[in-house]
Structure 1
Amino acid sequence: MFYISTLLPMLLSAAVASLSVSYHSKSICVLERSSVDFSCTFDYPLYSTLKTTRWFKPLSNQKQDGTQFGISVYHSNTAEIHQLYKNRTAYANQDRNCSLQIHNVSKSDNGMYFFRLEYDHGKYTGPWGINLSVAVLPFRVTVKTQKKNGHIHEGDYVTLTCGTENCTPKKEPFAWFKNQRLIPEATDNVFHIASVSHHDFGNYSCGLKTSSSTSTDEILLDVKYMPKNVEIAVFPSGKIREGNSLTLICMNNANPSVTNYSWFLIKEAKVSHIGLDREFSIKSASQKDNGQYFCTAKNDMGSQNSSVIALNVEVSVHQNVLLTATAVFLFLMAVVIFGLIIWRIQFTSKKHPTEQTPAATVTEEIYENLRKSQESEGKYSTSVVYADLSLPPASDRPSCNSQAGDTVIIYSLLSYNK
């Protein structure tokens, strides 16, 4: 009798202890329109008869601890299954295996699920239940940074998360895209950028590798950075001919956009400021435009100078010929004018010679024939002197008004006292 009274409580304790329900997952997240598995095992006392098994979901206005049944998702009596779950569930139907599968899940399936068994000596509901979250498509990319103002600067730590309205199925393989190009190293729903740079600026999207239809809309990763890759583009390109128009453009990458431009010319070791716009135009290029040019681009994040380019304006062959011909023409004109001036000076000198008494030449021969008069009486006497001059031909001496011959007779009356 003693043994029976001792053994009976032990048997009852063992029977009660064997009553259990185990859920393999406490929380599950699946994509809408997919299937979900509730893995479950249970136990009940030996020598008992299992009468009813059921899965139920408490209504939104009921307690979510399993104390209120709500609607039947599955019931061993199919007539008890709620209309929302008919033909959508599959029960394991194996001894002590209470796993349940729900197909084509939707947002309305969010909530807590419990397994309950009833046997001939009692009934039991597995505690805690399983929380089902249905990920409602499409995925969305969220950007987080350590900065409080939300602005992302170069060097910041940035996290991109691919998620949905309710949850994210982390067991699924993910794919990330930048400007619609795959990022091979990113396979999780979270993409970390330890030190963001201007190269990371762009539009990002994500989705499941197993389904192209899950791709998200693109979101801009707006990285703020100072002007980069500042360089000068010349239009038109190629050789620069004198007289042609020319435009220099200050090219750069910057975020935010450049607000201030400056142009500089280096010539003969002197730097001159020549412009303030993104473009610098030369309407008619000439030799005076030769020199070294560079530009400066500036935004709120900083500034950067471009590399220096040399501008060399070439004179065309036609212009060289024209310049040469002009120079030769001017030289010849100068020679002609100089010659005319010399000729005029000589002509004027011949037309108005300097007036002076011509000197007698050595060829001239002068003959004098002096004859003394016989009359010598008286106090005073008078003598007549005749002089004959023989002159050279008229061509060798100045002209005179005399019409006499080559011999000129000069009469001279001389008086003197004896």
Structure 2
Amino acid sequence: MSPSAGGLVVFLLSVQVIQSQDGLGVNYHETDVCAAKGSTVFIICDITHPPGIDPSDIKDRFWFTKEKDGEPVDLRTDSEYLDRVMYGCFVTRCYLSITDVRESDSAEYKITFMTNKPGEKYTGSPGVTLCVTGLQVQVRRLNSTWLELTCHSSCVLSDRAEYDWYKNGEIIETGSSLRVSSGSTDRYSCYLRGSSGQRSPAVYGPQRPSVSVSPSAEMLEGDSVTLTCSADANPAANYTWYKGDGTSDPRLLSEEPQLVFSSIQSSDFGWYFCTAENQLGRKTSEFILIRVKYGPQRPSVSVSPSAEMLEGDSVTLTCSADANPAANYTWYKEHEDSPRASGQIFTITDFTAEHSGNYYCEAQNEMGRSNSTLLLITESGVDRTTMIIHITRWPLLVVMLILQLLFCLWTRKKKAVSSTTEPHESREAVEMDLHPECEDLSDMAAQREDPEEQEDRV
């Protein structure tokens, strides 16, 4: 590349500074150079030889940025500049060319001369300060709809610098700034027009975040678990963690890329997701289900029917316990070593007195086991057949005896009225005098009463 091709970078300043050392004059065309990363830079100077020194007396001349043991180090021997530097001199004008400049090339550059006389050398100092800058796109929000993109560099490239704007790799506009809509998924970058530098890194909103879980194996209660949210975005995204399944408002958990459970618990079971957001947009990850393995909690037991049992009834006991993985159930009767049944439901189809007692269930999985509290199952002590007899037979017999007794009283009263007796007093006496047959019926009714009713009367 010729010096004229790099003019945009090199000839930014027209100030000429002449330095002299021992009669040697070095005129650097610029004292400060700002170059775009990846471009080619030319540093040029004019030489004025001191009296008595002919240009033919100059044995060597080279450029350097650092010294070793007090002696300048030729850039051509520096591995950091290998195959990237080139020197040249035309009578009294010399130049340094550096291709594909890097930010690490930012330094002060000087030229030194050595003559035929041993130990005689001349250095133009101070030298030229080179600043290599990468282009960056700055994002500024104008309102809820629009953003303004500006091409930025750490040093001033040129007052007349113009930029080409790229959208997804294609030039779309030229100018110092670009307006785009908020939430766009496109990639935007800028380039210093007319230079050989590199385009700026593209800016874009977050892609859909991905979630990783560490450790990725099964989680046991008490383990340390870390969820990490990551998304491709520039500028870098900010992350937020939530817990929720999408059916209600999620619960905010953290505003960091990682969500850390130092000792995960069964209560942490559920759906989680994260969001990634920068100035250009916001995206949400997929939901991830966190399953925690834990031993059974204390089981609960229910009985149906819940009233006292009668002989011959069917009784169903149900055991349930929160556990992951699901628990297996075993039924025991107190003071017995052998289980009565296995499974979540235990049914006694023909309840008898020997079934009465305390029962409990045991829930077990690979993480542990847990027992329920004791459940007392008792029989009411009344035989169903006997009870039916009490209900049906005794009421019928009593009714029959009462009817016979009333019939006797009616017959006796009728005879007393039709016979000749004394007035009221005699008649009342007769009415109260029961027929012997009726007295027998009254005794029978008393004898037929329910033994339990007699006991209650006593």
- TM-score of the pair, normalised by structure 2: 0.47
Matches within 5 A, 1:3-402: 9-10=27-28, 12-14=30-32, 17=129, 21=133, 23=135, 37=149, 40-41=152-153, 42-44=155-157, 50=160, 52-56=162-166, 71-76=170-175, 91-92=176-177, 102-103=180-181, 109=187, 113-118=189-194, 123=195, 125=197, 129-132=200-203, 134-137=205-208, 139-145=209-215, 150-164=217-231, 166-167=232-233, 171-172=237-238, 174-180=240-246, 182-207=250-275, 214-258=283-327, 260-266=328-334, 269-315=335-381
AA partner of residue 183 (structure 1): R
- TM-superposed deviation, 1:44: 3.7
Cα pair 1:294 1:307 within 8 Å, conserved: yes
How far 1:248 moved relative to its partner? 1.0
Measure how far apart 1:51 and its partner are: 5.9
CA RMSD of aligned residues (A): 4.4
Deviation at 1:108, TM superposition (A): 5.6
* Distance verdict in 2 for CA 1:236–1:214, change over 3 Å: farther
Q: Aligned residues, how many?
A: 269
Alpha carbons of structure 1 residues 192 and 245: separation in structure 2 relative to 1, 3 Å? same
Deviation at 1:241, TM superposition (A): 4.4
Task: Tell me the CA shift for residue 39 of structure 1.
Answer: 5.7
AA partner of residue 304 (structure 1): S
One-letter amino acid of the counterpart of residue 129, structure 1: S
Query: What residue identity is the alignment partner of 1:160?
Result: L
Q: What is the distance in 2 between the residues matched to 1:270 and 1:206?
A: 53
**C-alpha separation in 2, matches of 1:168 and 1:130:** 8
**SS of residue in 1 equivalent to 2:323:** strand
Cα distance in structure 1, aligned partners of 2:146 and 2:303: 58
Instruction: Calculate percent identity across the aligned residue pairs.
Output: 21
Q: Identify if the C-alpha distance between structure 1 residues 188 and 301 changes in structure 2 by more than 3 Å, giving closer, same or farther.
A: same
Render the CA deviation track for 1:119-159: whole Å, top value 9, x for unaligned. xxxx463x68325454223x4433221x6xx1211121111
In structure 2, distance between residues paired with 1:292 and 1:20: 86
2:11 alignment counterpart: none
Shift of 1:281: 0.4
C-alpha distance in structure 2 between counterparts of 1:239 and 1:229, whole Å: 25
2:305, 2:338 → 1: CA distance?
24
Larger Rg: 1
- CA–CA separation in structure 1 for the residues paired with 2:233 and 2:371: 48
Task: Report if the CA contact (8 A) 2:243-2:253 is conserved.
Answer: no
Deviation at 1:264, TM superposition (A): 0.5
Paired letter, 2:218: H
Inter-CA distance 187–236: structure 2 relative to 1 (3 Å threshold):
farther
Higher mean C-alpha deviation, range 128-137 or range 184-193: 128-137
Flag the 1:44–1:220 CA change in 2: closer, same or farther, 3 A.
Answer: closer
